[in-house]
Structure formats: structure tokens, C-alpha cells
Structure 1
Amino acid sequence: MGGLSGLIHFEGDAPDAATIRAMSEQLAHRGPDDAGEWSGGPARLAHRLRRIRPSKATQPCVTDDLILVLDGWLYEHERLGQEVGADQAATDTEVLLASWRRWGPDAMPHIEGEFAFAVWDRRRSALTLVRDRLGIRPLYWSMRSGRVAFASELPALLKVPWISRGLELSCVAEYLSFQVVHAPRTLLSSVEQVEPGHIVQITPEGPERRRYWRLRYAPPGTPRPPDGDVVNRLQETVGHAVRRRVPRGIETGLYLSGGLGSAAIAAAARDRHLPLPGFTISFADDPFPEAPFAGRVASLLGLEHHDVVIGTADLAATFDEAVAALGHPVGHPAVLLQLALARAARERVAVVLSGNGSEALFGGRQLDGLARDLRLASAVQLLPGVVRGPLGRLLGSTDRGRRLTTRPEDYPLVLGLGGAHLFSTEERGTLLRDHNLVRPGVRREVLRPLYQGLQTDPINTVLHGFLRSTLTERALPRADRTAAAAGLDVRFPLLDTAVLETAASLPGASKIRRVAGSLHTRWPLRAMLSGVLPPVLVDRPKRSLPVPLGTWLAGPGRLFLEARMRSLRDDPLGLWRPEALDALHQDVTRSNAAGNRLWTLFILDAWLRTL
């Protein structure tokens, strides 16, 4: 874990030393053990480091022409070091710098890891910003009038005096619909994110953006491979991914949810004799707790298990801390539980593995109704045109009708599938004072570039939308920021490139299976765990992190609700219609959906007040 920041002034005075130090200090939670800084000519770069083992390595890493700062780590950098002629004792940062000197941006296919880094080429006067394939590590930047600033987290970037804090109003509808704003956009008009799997190269002439990686899916019509072949390949890739994410001699744990993703990691760790203690979060008043299932997985696989229980009072107490940890709004309430879980894990381990990714790669709850609808829609397409036309006119005005009459290959964009679906167009129209901010087509506008260029079946297409939205823009930022706030290094075995490519190579039909009349999603993981865990654990449905918002806000969290509602109604930017807020307030006692909508507004409102 680390934090990076920098200032480049292509024009005007040299960057201010006090500003770069303020940026670096803002990132101290990402790297409390060491701080480094380099300056020369128009550039100042800074780095914060958290050490998981004793080391004399420091950053920035400097040669006669290149200066590099890295947040994250590379897999098996020793092998890459041999290829580029680096010293045998070179750190991953030094190997990365040697690779960049040899290949420049063409080094990226050779580099595996979870990282964000910046390279300043002082001979060419060029800054390059790079983010890993799925955007596990964050990286924000801004450019104005020949000046560039970048940082791992948005609050550090806002230490720069010339960066505007003006809200990008056009992104409000995106946030309300998806609970997030997708890279390269942010909620600030002057700030961008580097997109996952992208390079941004900035020179005095301006920025140039380039994609260096794209996940390739099984083409349409790919036959379903034998289950045995799939299981063998998954066992190999997941096992290797776990092995290289557990540093030797460092206390490492596992977020154990009771779901298939973390269970697959736990099984792979056991097979490789890696004793990972498991950590599970439970809500004190949850009527359907996950802890008993997670505890049974741990018992069967021989893992030490820690159940972290939080009460209703903890939710309100950690709200402001969670908003500060995020730095940029993510509207899902699970951030409170993740922060508590990360802090509890940090008391015992320095590194933790997470099972994030199983649903986006192999299918989850989002496929429960979709698979049935796709079968029916395919059947409708077989009807003669003289029948389909009137049927479409009769049913097409309803959501159910559109699902039946839309061609399966058009499903993702026509139905706006991918990511959360919180405030609908009608609900945004009721909520927002300015009708110009509603953006009726926001879902298609956001999703179209995510689906562009995909050549695969409808199930894989939809899963890619959830991968790029729900996973990379919502789940991973929550996991990274809460772990960083707790001083913990979180790693994601299921997001290893080999695991990603294995999952993507499977047709959608391999990811779902109908057994005894019931639809089972994530079939490859279930097959992998069959015989390792009993059916009661393998075949149970997936649950989210338990946050019973409606019940809590209407009862023990009532004082918190009233305080946040007063803040919302104050509304200094004039965004919300008071009568719409009143309606949500009243509905919260009857609906968890209203609680989720209010929570998304609470996060945005609290963040706006930090600007």
C-alpha cells in the first residue's frame, strides 16, 4: 500500500514545495511508514509508503532521465527483472522502472499486479499516469493552464490551490442512477480519474489517453467446455493467484463472507498449506446472519475464524469517517461495515485477501431473472414477423414487455443493464429541481462505451457491464479506501489476469445451470467447490453485506436520520425538491429501497460539505 502525488508546471513558476508536502501528508494513511520527495525543474513528485516487511527501498525511484512513483505491487517481479537485466535484489519499483526504460508504454503487457504509477520523463517533458487492468488502485489528475497535478486520492488533489471544487452537475444523474460516477469522470468538473487499463500521457501539448488492456470474451456460439476441464483450469489459476498474493513471513488473512468467492480462495489456500485466518462482518440485529455459514466454511477448511459484530450505534458513529475514507462518493451503505471489518482485521494481520469478483465473472443475482427473460425473448424472436410486430406494440410500453420483445443481443443497452439501478428517470425528475439535470438517457450514455467492441453472448455482455460498473467503480473503491484508512493491504485473487481470462473464455451458458428446476449461477465455482464443501454451503444463494437500512433508520437510527435530513434540506446548491425529500423520508419506514436512496443522498451531501 502506498500513496503518490505530483505537480508538473509546464508553464509559469516551479511547483510549490509546501503544496506537494500538503498533498503527501493527506495520503499519510496510505503510507505511514515512509515519505519521499523529488524535485527538479518543472516537476515535484512525492510518495508515501506502508511497509509490510523491513526494507531499505525508498521512492521516488530515480534515474538520469526517469522518475517513478508506485502505489501497489507487481507479481513475481523477479522474473521480469531477469528479462530487463535488473539487479537480482531489485525491488518491484526498480524492476518497473527498468521495464519502462526498455519498452516505455509497451511494457504494460509484461507487467502484472495491482498498481497505479506515475513516470516523469524529464528529457521529453512528459508525464505518464498508469492504472492497473481493473482499477484496483486509484489515480486522479487535473490539468489547467499548463499545470498538472495528480494524486492517489481526491482529497490530496484538492490541496492544490488552482484546482476548482466546482460540482460537475451533468454527473449528478449518473451518481443517482448508479451510486457512482464512472472513470474518467468525477463529480468535480476539473478532475478526472485514470480509467482502469489505461495510460494517460501528458505533455505541454495536452493529454493523450490510451487503452493498454481489454478483457476478451468467448465469441458468440462458443460451445460449452466440459465441467472437468473448467474446474481444473480454475483450480490452477485461482491457486496460483492466491499463492502469489500471500507474502512470505507476513501475517495474511481473508475476508470470509460465506459466499462462493471467498470460499474458493479459502479452499485454494488450504490446498497450498497457507493458514489464513478468516474475518466475517455481522450486523447485530440481522435476522439472517452470514457468520454461521462463514464459520462452517472456516471449520471445514481448518481456518481460524473471527466474527466481527457491529451494533446499530456503530453505523451512525462511523458515517463521517466512512465519507472521509472514500474521498469521492460511493453511495452503497456497505462501506460502514467494510471499514469496521478492515479495522478488525488490521489488529491481527497486515494483508488481507478479498473474494470480490465472483459475481461479475461467473454470474450472480443479476442473472436470476435475466436468464429466464433471455430464453423467452429468444423464443419470441422465432415468431413470424406478422406476430412479433403487434406483440411488440402491445407489450413494449411495459418493462416486462420490453424484456420479452427486445432482441437478446440488444438487451444490455436497450434495458440499461449493468451496475446499480437506483433512481429511475421518473424518480430523478421528481427529485431534482433543475429538469436539465435529469438526463433521461444517462444509463445508455454511460453503458454504451463500456459495451463497445464486445463480441460475445448476451450473458457475458451483461456481466461485463457489472464488472466495469458494480465491481470496478463501486466495490473496489470501497475495499481499497476502507483498507487504506485502516492501514491494511487488500488483495484480490479472483481478479488475477489468468482468472479473469479463464472466466471470460467461458460462454455464458457455462456460468448458469438449471438443476431440479432451480437456476444456479456461478456454476464453475460451485463445481469447483463440490466435494470440498457440503451442498448446503455450495448451493445457497448469495447475500450482500447486511445493512437493514429501512429498519435501522426507522428505529435505532432515527436521530441520525433526522440530522442527515436537516442537512439535505439545507441544500446550499439548490439540487433537491423539498417535497421529494419529504416523500423519501416518509417512505423509509416502509421500504428498504427508500433507505438506500436516502443513503445515496446522505453520502453525496456529506461529501459536498467537505469541499
Structure 2
Amino acid sequence: MCGIVGWTDFTRDLSQEHTTLQRMTGTMALRGPDAAGTWLGPHTALGHRRLSIIDLEGGTQPAVASTEPHQEPVVLVYSGEVYNFRELRAALETRGHRFTTRSDTEVVLRSYLEWGAACVDHFNGMFAFAVWDARREELLLARDRIGIKPLYYFAYPGGILFASEPKGIMANPLFQPVVEEDSLPILFNARLALPGETPLRGLRELRPGHILRFSRSGSHEYPYWRLVSREHRDDLTTTVTTVRDLLEDIVDRQLVADVPRSAMMSGGLDSTIMSALANRRLNAAGEGPLHTFAVEFAGDEKDFKPTELRPERDAPYARLASRHLGTVHHNITLHTDDVLAALSAARRARDLPSLGQFDTSMYLLFKAIREQSTVALSGEAADEVFGGYPWYHDERLVWRDRFPWIGDAPRLADAFAPDLHRRVRPADAENDRYLTLKAEVPRLPGEQGLNARMREVMYYSLKGPLAYLLDRKDRMSMAVGLEVRVPYCDHRLVEYVWNVPWEMKNADGRWKSLLRLAFADVLPQETLDRPKSGYPGTHDPAYDAEVMRSIDKVLSDPSSPLHGVFDPQRVEGLTRSGSKTMTWLNSSHLLLPILEVDAWMRAYNVSLA
């Protein structure tokens, strides 16, 4: 796991741009605390920071291969893990390739030499990489199918910048951070962003399952993978067995590492299943028991207030699951002062506007995990893939022709100043994005009714909320040098379950039926019966009061970069509306983006066009 940066420009000599490349590479230091490397050529400069996971001695980057007949270099910078690298290595050796390390990095490079851009079709894993092919004078960028590892780029006439995080691009003076008015809706609700879209002018994220080629003739981004809808022919018993077999294989693959491993376990269905499989595998190999981790907040016993998305506290269930499985469990207890003190570090890790306490608590959780291990498993995507969120099971929200996780909830954009609101038309911006995704849904010919609608609903979740959760997971973990792996994002599992009809996904009339049926024999009954509970937040009134005071200060500050964006009376109206929503904990949670966007714009000198 690493951080990568790069710069290709056919109009200038980049071999002399050592200082700029070092500055770009330096922004990735937290992602890769173990080693650094750069490579410069006439038209391309590449930088890499390494977090050593596999083959700790080998696998240094940038990785360079000379090619016949003129020895033009092919250079790779790569972030992520290819879990099937051993099988690929064996296949490449039969084709004449020779290896000098045990790393998956060399397998990725040799796979490109063998198959070109089509090498991505052979990879099972999470990855983002860049290859400069001097033979073709072409830069190739690629990202894994689900979008687990990030990769941003900024294209300009004759050139392109790229990096694992926006800060790597911002370190180059060619990029100026500007937010245009039309991007304000996604600036204040990042879940509305379409794949590849960012609020900064000219900054794009390479879309999941896509490749970008950049050469003298320009850039071209295209998909190498997408979901395909097919008729599901397996009966329920076969489907349940297949899900179990897939997950067992996935967890086994994702435990491959030369460093200590652990897991996040909230005591919910998906994280407990994942931990059960990992613990069994490590114990069988004589490397157990598994260390598991959950986060809780001081004062939860008296302050916790249940919501539809967070009906219960995690900590008691996590302890119960640990006792049942036999893991070594760690409940990380955070105080409000801890959360407030770590805000700046979490904001710096995010690069884009943060989620406040939700980013910060995850940052602190990952920091605690890093003291025990370098690799951790996490349960992102189980709800999106198997149908775990409450809005999947609320008929009113399912059939409403809009994003189901928002429903009739208040929108922060509704509090824009009147003139700005008329120009930006946030309701239209939201609807346009909804209709754009609706048109992309890979439909099954002849499918109708609830199955057809649930295919749409689950597609929206995969493209919006999941992308945001994966981004948060990557930023907060890599900021402390922790590699987090996500078994439920394995594309084989996603492809299979995508085509399972809704009545099977809801076979026992409850959320995530397939997981419950597949693993009923390994979990405690309390876990099997527990309803979905989202990632926890603090309910400390002191924290909420501090957030609201800070927001009031921003709204009344004429020097704020957001001065004039919001109507204070409309903001006050949102806090008094009393509207219920599955997404927000309370008013301070709803209004938090005002504070976070203000802090981000100040820290990164972002201007509003």
C-alpha cells in the first residue's frame, strides 16, 4: 500500500523538475512511511512513497523494466494489493518472464509487459497505478473495479498531473484550487457526486473500473469493467452456498501479508462474519488469534440517542461477538477532547471537506489499530451489496423517484442565499445526477416491479454512498500508515450478488438475508438478530454545542470564504425544522459541512468562482 504521484508533459523537459516532483512526492509521506523513490525522464516524472506489506526487502518503486530492441524504459508506480499475484507470477513464468523479488509490484509490471492495458482484466485486488511506456510515449492510469484505491488527475493542454490524493496535485503550481458555483451542491453533500466528479475545477478522479491513456494526441478515459445484469439461475440453497464459498476464499486471499493483521468488528453481521473467517484462518495457520477493534465514545451510556440508522450501541455487541469467536478484542474509547484535538489531522488526511467527528473518530481508531498491526480487514460494501440499509426496506423511500437515502430530509443547499439558490438550483442539480445514474443502471431485459426498482436503488448506493465511504476509509487509514482491506468489495462477490433477485436477498424477510443464511452456524444469535447500525458518532451534547458555536461564528464572519453563500435565517430554519432523516444524527450533523468547507477552503487557499 502506497502513495503515488506523477507528471507527464510533452511541451517541457521534466528531467529537471526534481524540486517539484519531490514536493509532490512528499505529500504522500503518511501513505508510505517506509521508503521513497522518484524517476524522471524527458516528458514524465514519477514519485512513490511505500508502506511495506509484501516482500519487505524487495518491491521498491518506481519499478523500471528495459525493453528490446532499444531499451526504452517502462516505469510503474503502484498503490494497492493484487491478491492473486502468486497465480499470475506462475503464469507469467511459463511465458518466459523472470522475477527478482517476491512482490506483487513486479507482477503488476510484468503483467503490463505481457498484456498491455488488458493486464487489469487479470487482477483481483484493490489498486491504482500508472505506467509510463517510453516505447509508445504514453502514460496509462488504471484503477480497480470498485474504486477501493483512489487516483486523481488534472489534465491541461499538453500535460497531465496525477496523485493518490488531491494534495499531490495541489503541490504542483500548475494547479490552482477553485470551486465554481455549479459545484456547490456536491461540495456540501459529496454523496451526490457522480463517479469521477470533484468540486474543484479541472480535478477529476479516475472512475472505478476505468483506464486513462494520455499521449501526444490527448487523453482518453474508458471502462474495462462494469456490472452486467444476467438472469440468476441458482436456487436459494445454491446461492447461499456460493456466497459462503466466495467469502471464505476472499478472506483467505486478503490475509496474505508479511506483517501483522487485524480486523474492525462492530458486532454487526458483516464485520463479525469477516472476523470469524479471518480468525479461523489465522488459528489454522498457527498465527491467531485475530485482534479485533471497535470504537466507542465516553459517556455513551447516558448520552446515546437511537436513530433509524443507528438504533443501538456497537460496543456491547462487539464484546459479545469477540467472546463467541475467541478473538482478542480492543474497544477504543474516545473522549470529546480527543476528537476535537485530532480534527486538524483528519482534515489534512481528507484533502476535501471532511465529515468532522466521523472522520476524526475513524482516524483515531485506525491510529490505535496501527499500534498492533499494519493490515486490517473492514466491512465496507456489505450493506450496499446485500441490502442492509434501512432505506432498502422502506417501501415509501424505495419507490420515491429520487436518491433513497435522502428522501424528504432537509438539504443544506436549501439554506443557500436566495440569489445563489436561484443561480445554482440545487434541487435540479440533485435530480440531474439522479437521472444520470438512473440511465446508467445495467438492466435485465424483461425485469419488472420490485426486482427492477431494487436494482436501481442498489446501483445508486454503489455509486454514491459506497464511493464516499471507501474514500473516507482510504484517507483515514493511510494517514496513519495502515492498510485496510475490504473483502465485500471483491468484484467476484459483487458481480454474483448483483444478479441475485431481491426476493432472495430478502429471503427471510430481513436485511442481508443471504449473509445470515450463509453463516448462521458461526455467529452468536444476538448478532444474527441485530438490526443494521451505522458507523457510530458521539452524542455528547458538549460536542454538538461546540460545532454549533463554530458554525455560528463562520456564518457571521465576513472574512470567511463562505461569506454570502448561506442565508443565516434559512440555516436557523433547518435547525428548527425537526425533520427526521436516516442519514443525519441531529442538527449539528446536518450543518457540519458549513464548518468543514470553511476550514478546508482556508487551509488549501481555495477560491470560489
TM-score bucket of the superposed structures, by smaller chain? 0.7 to 0.9
- Aligned residue in 2 for 1:25: 26
Of 154-163 and 96-105, more deviation after overlay is shown by: 96-105
Instruction: Check if 1:183 corresponds to 2:195.
Output: yes
Instruction: Check if 1:600 corresponds to 2:600.
Output: no
Structure 2: 5+ residue runs without aligned partners? 67-72, 305-311, 445-451, 605-609
Q: Deviations over 1:294-329 (max 9, x none)?
A: 111111111111000111222222222211111123
Instruction: Give the distance between the partners of 2:18 and 2:257, measured in 1 at CA.
Output: 38
Q: What's the offset of the Cα at 1:191?
A: 1.0
- Aligned residue in 2 for 1:87: 98
Instruction: Give the distance between the partners of 1:428 and 1:316, measured in 2 at CA.
Output: 26
Matched to 2:373, the amino acid is V
- Aligned residue in 2 for 1:390: none
Match of 2:501 among 501, 507, 525: 507
- Aligned residue in 1 for 2:520: 530
Instruction: Check if 1:56 corresponds to 2:58.
Output: yes
Note if contact 1:425-1:440 (Cα within 8 Å) is conserved in structure 2. Answer: no
Instruction: Check if 1:234 corresponds to 2:282.
Output: no
- Aligned residue in 2 for 1:578: 568
- Aligned residue in 2 for 1:459: 454
Q: How does 1:424-439 map to 2 (within 5 A)?
A: 424=411, 427-428=414-415, 433-439=420-426
Structure 1: 5+ residue runs without aligned partners? 375-402, 404-410
Of 262-271 and 330-339, more deviation after overlay is shown by: 330-339
- Aligned residue in 2 for 1:99: 111
Q: What's the offset of the Cα at 1:439?
A: 3.0
TM-score by length of 2: 0.86
Q: How does 1:120-519 map to 2 (within 5 A)?
A: 120-179=132-191, 181-219=193-231, 222=232, 225-272=234-281, 273=283, 275-286=289-300, 287=304, 288-331=312-355, 333-371=357-395, 403=399, 414-417=401-404, 423-424=410-411, 427-428=414-415, 433-451=420-438, 452-456=440-444, 457-472=452-467, 474-513=468-507, 519=509
Instruction: Give the distance between the partners of 1:489 and 1:355, measured in 2 at CA.
Output: 14
Q: What's the offset of the Cα at 1:75?
A: 1.1
Structure 1 residues 96 and 600, CA, compared in 2 at 3 Å: closer, same or farther? same
Q: What's the offset of the Cα at 1:424?
A: 3.4
SS at match of 1:195: coil
Structure 1 residues 36 and 144, CA, compared in 2 at 3 Å: closer, same or farther? same
Q: What's the offset of the Cα at 1:475?
A: 0.7
Instruction: Give the distance between the partners of 2:201 and 2:113, measured in 1 at CA.
Output: 34
Q: What's the offset of the Cα at 1:281?
A: 0.4
Note if contact 1:173-1:428 (Cα within 8 Å) is conserved in structure 2. Answer: no
Q: What's the offset of the Cα at 1:419?
A: 7.3
Structure 1 residues 340 and 241, CA, compared in 2 at 3 Å: closer, same or farther? same
Q: What's the offset of the Cα at 1:586?
A: 6.4
Matched to 1:606, the amino acid is A
Root-mean-square deviation (Å): 2.6
SS at match of 1:521: coil
SS at match of 2:178: coil
Structure 1 residues 345 and 359, CA, compared in 2 at 3 Å: closer, same or farther? same
Of 495-504 and 25-34, more deviation after overlay is shown by: 495-504
Structure 1 residues 343 and 28, CA, compared in 2 at 3 Å: closer, same or farther? same
Structure 1 residues 469 and 431, CA, compared in 2 at 3 Å: closer, same or farther? farther
- Aligned residue in 2 for 1:395: none
Q: What's the offset of the Cα at 1:17?
A: 1.2
Of 570-579 and 537-546, more deviation after overlay is shown by: 570-579
Note if contact 1:36-1:60 (Cα within 8 Å) is conserved in structure 2. Answer: yes
Matched to 1:12, the amino acid is R
Q: Deviations over 1:433-471 (max 9, x none)?
A: 442123322233223343414114221221121011111
Q: What's the offset of the Cα at 1:162?
A: 1.2
Count of aligned pairs: 563
Note if contact 1:177-1:422 (Cα within 8 Å) is conserved in structure 2. Answer: no
Matched to 1:4, the amino acid is I
Instruction: Check if 1:66 corresponds to 2:70.
Output: no
Note if contact 1:74-1:113 (Cα within 8 Å) is conserved in structure 2. Answer: yes
Identity %: 28
SS at match of 2:220: strand
- Aligned residue in 2 for 1:377: none
SS at match of 1:44: strand
Instruction: Give the distance between the partners of 2:590 and 2:119, measured in 1 at CA.
Output: 43
Instruction: Give the distance between the partners of 1:555 and 1:31, measured in 2 at CA.
Output: 36
- Aligned residue in 2 for 1:385: none
Structure 1 residues 204 and 576, CA, compared in 2 at 3 Å: closer, same or farther? farther
Structure 1 residues 448 and 372, CA, compared in 2 at 3 Å: closer, same or farther? closer
Q: Deviations over 1:453-509 (max 9, x none)?
A: 41142212211210111112x111111111111111100111112221221131111
Note if contact 2:410-2:574 (Cα within 8 Å) is conserved in structure 1. Answer: no
Instruction: Give the distance between the partners of 1:42 and 1:248, measured in 2 at CA.
Output: 36
Matched to 1:455, the amino acid is R
SS at match of 2:587: helix
Instruction: Check if 1:5 corresponds to 2:13.
Output: no
Matched to 1:341, the amino acid is L
SS at match of 1:487: coil
SS at match of 1:440: helix
Instruction: Give the distance between the partners of 1:372 and 1:449, measured in 2 at CA.
Output: 22
Q: What's the offset of the Cα at 1:67?
A: 0.9
SS at match of 1:447: helix
Matched to 1:572, the amino acid is P
Q: What's the offset of the Cα at 1:247?
A: 2.5
SS at match of 2:161: strand
Note if contact 1:178-1:422 (Cα within 8 Å) is conserved in structure 2. Answer: no
Note if contact 1:568-1:605 (Cα within 8 Å) is conserved in structure 2. Answer: no
Note if contact 1:331-1:604 (Cα within 8 Å) is conserved in structure 2. Answer: no
Instruction: Check if 1:40 corresponds to 2:52.
Output: no
Structure 1 residues 485 and 568, CA, compared in 2 at 3 Å: closer, same or farther? farther
SS at match of 2:352: coil
Instruction: Give the distance between the partners of 1:566 and 1:373, measured in 2 at CA.
Output: 36
Matched to 1:277, the amino acid is H
Q: What's the offset of the Cα at 1:229?
A: 1.7
Instruction: Give the distance between the partners of 1:278 and 1:336, measured in 2 at CA.
Output: 19
Structure 1 residues 420 and 201, CA, compared in 2 at 3 Å: closer, same or farther? farther
Note if contact 1:313-1:557 (Cα within 8 Å) is conserved in structure 2. Answer: no
Structure 1 residues 480 and 373, CA, compared in 2 at 3 Å: closer, same or farther? closer
Structure 1 residues 242 and 523, CA, compared in 2 at 3 Å: closer, same or farther? same
Note if contact 2:359-2:472 (Cα within 8 Å) is conserved in structure 1. Answer: yes
Instruction: Give the distance between the partners of 2:170 and 2:524, measured in 1 at CA.
Output: 51
Matched to 1:482, the amino acid is M
Instruction: Give the distance between the partners of 1:422 and 1:79, measured in 2 at CA.
Output: 49
Matched to 1:596, the amino acid is H
SS at match of 1:118: strand
